Amino acid sequence: MTGTEMTISLCLAQKAGHVYGVEIVPEAIEDAKKNAELNQITNATFKAGQAEKVIPEWYDQGIKADVIVVDPPRKGCDEALLQTMIDMKPKRIVYVSCNPATLARDLKVLEAGGFKTVEVQPVDMFPQKMHVETVALLQRNLSN
């Protein structure tokens, strides 16, 4: 449901019934809307704001997701966002992280909320630097 420049959301729109994207930078949302129009993507909704506020609002409006993709800043996901993700009960969560410490912290919360970490893949996008991106795939436990 999130992506730094909505690239993730626009790619997912090709396979999804509908995609919702939220980004704190308003210019990124405007770019996403323009890119969606240029690429004739009509099944995407974008909103500028904090994910920890916008996604709970969408959930309260009855919007649910089969898959949630998050790409938070280094501080990781806010507790309210993590709880909303748990409450939405998606089949899968894809968590893209630039901070292994906050990823581990957030995975622990999601696992306590009924998800299982299936795969974790580090990606060295910044050769010769100490930073690494990590992509984690979680699936909801069938009993939840």
Active site residues: 98
Other beta carbons less than 10 A from residue 87's beta carbon: 11
Half-sphere exposure of 27 (CA within 13 A, CB side): 0
Angular region, 128: left φ>0, alpha ψ -120 to 50, beta rest: left
Is residue 23 marked as binding? yes
**Is 71 labeled as ligand-binding?**
yes
Which stretch of DSSP H or E encloses residue 115? strand 115-123
Annotated binding site: 23, 71
Annotated binding site for S-adenosyl-L-methionine: 23, 71
